[in-house]
C-alpha cells in the first residue's frame, strides 16, 4: 500500500551530518486562473534549506567567486517560486539561518519574516530586482505573493528507500517522498500585479519533498492528477500517476538507471518500485529534446501490471531550474522543468502470457523534469 501519509517523512531531515552537508526541500505545483482573463496558468513554490550548521545572519552563496576560492559552502533558506508557460521564470528570496525558524518535529513548520510553510498552509512574498547583476541569485526579476491552503488527497509513499533505518543511516544520496500526488490548493496569487485564483478542483496540485547530500543524475520527474479515460470518456477524479528518480546512490554506490513509479487508478494501486524486488519491477526510459519538445518514454512493469507513458512538454513553456548543491557546485545548468506537459498513459494487467488493457488515459497539467549533470 503506497497511498499512506507519513508525517515523519514530511518533517525537516537536516540532522546529523546533513546539518553541515545536506539539503531539504518541500515542492508545490498547481494551476491558477487569471481573475480577469479566466486563463489558466501553472505555478510552483518551494522552500529549499541547505547546510544550516554553516549559517549566520545573512545567506551564504556558494556561487560567489570569493566563496568558491575559499571553499565556503552555501547556507540559507531559499524561497523559490515561479511560473511556467511562454513567460516561464523562477524567482528566489534568500534568508540567513539566524532569520529562519524551523520546527524539526511533527508537524513541521518553516518561517522567515512573511514566508511560512507547514503541511496545510503556504504563504510567501518574493520580489526580485537587479538579478542580472547578481548571478549568485540564480533567478530572474519579478514579484509573486501567495496565500494558500492545501489538502493532500493521494500519497506516493515510496517505502523502504526512505524508511526509518535508511533515513537514520543516511544511506541514500537523495531521498524522495511524495505526500500529495493529488493535492487540492485554495487561495490567491498575485504575479507581477495580476491576480490569480487557485480553486481546489481546478488546481491539479502536487506536493513532494527531497532531501540528502547531493542530487541524482539523470533526474526524471513526471506527475499528474488531471486524467481522462480515452475508452469511457470519463474524468478519472480519484486517480494520479507519478514517476521519479534517475540513478540513485546507496552508501556511495551508484545503482543502474532506476525509476520509481505508481498509478493510483480510481482506488486501485499499481506500483513500479525497484526496491520491492519481489514484485519483479522493471523499468526502461528515454528522454530528450525533439522538434521543440522535451519528450519522455517510460515503460514500467511488474509481475502483475504494465504502465507505458508517453509524455511531452513544449520547450518554450519550460524553464531551466537552478540549484546549487551542498558543496556549492552548480552541476545542473540544463535541468528542464515544466508544469504544462501532456501525454498518454496505457495501463495493462498481465494474465498469463497475455496483457489486458485496463485503460488508455489522456493526461494533462503534467509536472515534468529532465536533466543530467554537466560533463
Question: DSSP string spanning 176-237?
Answer: EEEEEEEEEEEEEEEETTEEEEE-GGG--EEEEEEEESS--SSEEEEEESEEEETTT--B-T
Q: Give the pLDDT confidence of 311-323 residue by residue, as tens digits.
A: 999 999 999 999 9
Alpha helices (H) along the chain:
7-10, 65-70, 164-169
Domain contains 1: no
Rg of the chain over Cα atoms, rounded to whole angstroms, equals 20
3-state secondary structure of 274: coil
Cβ neighbours of 159 (radius 10 Å): 16
Owner of C-alpha cell 482573463: 37
Asked if residue 244 has a cis previous peptide bond (ω within 30° of 0), the answer is no
The DSSP call for residue 322 is -
Residue 299 has pLDDT above 90, yes or no: yes
d(CA 306, CA 349): 6
Distance CA 189, CA 199 (A): 11
Q: Look up cell 523559490; give the residue.
A: 80
pLDDT at 165 over 50: no
Neighbours of 340 (CB within 10 A): 21
Tell me what pLDDT residue 250 has.
54
> Which secondary-structure segment (H or E) carries 33?
strand 23-34
pLDDT in tens, 353-364: 899 999 999 999
The answer to whether residue 120 is domain-embedded is yes
Residue 374 clears pLDDT 90, i.e. is over it: no
Cell of 67: 566563496
Helix (DSSP H) and strand (DSSP E) numbers for the chain:
3, 25
What pLDDT is attached to residue 182?
Answer: 98
Band of pLDDT at residue 166, cut at 50, 70 and 90: very low
Q: Please tell me the distance from the alpha carbon of residue 62 to that of residue 73, in angstroms, as a whole number.
A: 5
Q: Is residue 2 part of a domain?
A: no
Does residue 110 surpass a pLDDT of 60? yes
pLDDT value at residue 160? 58
pLDDT higher than 50, residue 126: yes
CA–CA separation, 287 and 117 (whole Å): 33
Domain of residue 277, residue span:
7-371
Number of domains in the chain: 1
* Strands 205-212 and 23-34, bridge-based pairing: antiparallel
Which DSSP string do the residues of 66-132 spell out, in sequence order? HHHHHTPPPBEEEEEEEE-STT-EEEEEEE-GGG-EEE-SSS-EEEETTEEE-SSEEEEEEEE--GG
Amino acid at each position: 500500500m503506497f497511498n499512506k501519509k507519513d508525517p515523519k517523512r514530511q518533517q525537516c531531515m537536516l540532522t546529523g551530518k546533513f546539518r553541515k552537508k545536506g539539503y531539504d526541500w518541500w515542492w508545490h505545483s498547481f494551476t491558477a486562473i487569471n481573475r480577469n482573463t479566466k486563463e489558466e496558468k501553472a505555478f510552483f513554490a518551494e522552500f529549499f534549506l541547505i547546510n544550516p550548521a554553516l549559517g549566520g545572519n545573512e545567506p551564504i552563496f556558494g556561487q560567489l567567486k570569493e566563496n568558491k576560492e575559499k571553499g565556503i559552502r552555501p547556507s540559507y533558506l531559499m524561497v523559490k517560486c515561479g511560473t511556467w508557460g511562454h513567460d516561464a521564470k523562477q524567482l528566489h528570496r534568500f534568508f540567513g539561518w539566524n532569520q529562519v525558524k524551523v520546527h524539526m518535529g511533527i508537524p513541521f513548520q518553516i518561517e522567515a519574516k512573511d514566508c511560512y510553510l507547514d503541511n496545510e498552509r503556504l504563504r510567501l512574498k518574493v520580489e526580485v530586482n537587479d538579478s542580472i547583476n547578481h548571478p549568485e541569485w540564480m533567478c530572474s526579476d519579478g514579484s509573486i505573493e501567495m496565500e494558500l491552503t492545501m489538502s493532500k488527497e493521494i500519497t506516493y509513499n515510496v517505502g523502504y528507500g526512505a524508511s526509518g533505518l535508511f533515513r537514520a543511516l543516511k544511506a541514500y544520496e537523495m531521498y524522495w517522498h511524495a505526500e500529495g500526488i493529488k493535492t487540492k490548493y485554495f487561495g490567491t496569487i498575485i504575479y507581477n500585479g495580476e491576480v490569480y485564483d487557485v480553486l481546489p478542483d481546478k488546481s491539479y496540485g502536487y506536493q513532494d519533498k527531497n532531501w540528502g547530500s547531493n542530487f541524482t543524475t539523470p533526474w526524471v520527474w513526471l506527475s499528474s492528477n488531471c486524467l481522462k479515460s480515452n475508452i469511457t470518456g470519463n474524468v478519472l477524479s480519484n486517480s494520479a500517476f507519478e514517476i521519479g528518480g534517475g540513478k540513485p546512490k546507496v552508501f556511495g554506490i551508484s545503482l543502474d538507471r532506476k525509476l520509481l513509479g505508481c498509478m493510483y487508478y480510481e482506488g486501485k494501486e499499481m506500483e513500479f518500485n525497484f526496491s520491492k524486488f519481489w514484485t519483479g519491477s522493471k523499468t526502461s526510459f528515454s528522454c530528450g529534446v525533439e522538434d521543440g519538445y522535451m519528450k519522455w518514454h517510460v515503460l514500467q512493469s511488474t509481475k502483475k501490471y504494465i504502465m507505458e507513458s508517453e509524455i511531452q512538454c513544449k520547450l518554450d513553456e519550460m524553464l531551466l531550474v537552478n540549484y546549487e548543491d551542498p558543496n556549492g557546485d552548480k552541476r545542473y545548468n540544463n535541468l528542464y522543468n515544466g508544469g504544462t506537459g501532456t501525454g498518454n498513459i496505457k495501463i495493462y494487467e498481465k494474465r498469463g502470457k497475455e496483457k489486458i488493457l485496463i485503460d488508455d488515459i489522456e493526461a494533462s497539467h503534467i509536472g515534468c523534469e529532465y536533466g543530467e549533470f554537466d560533463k
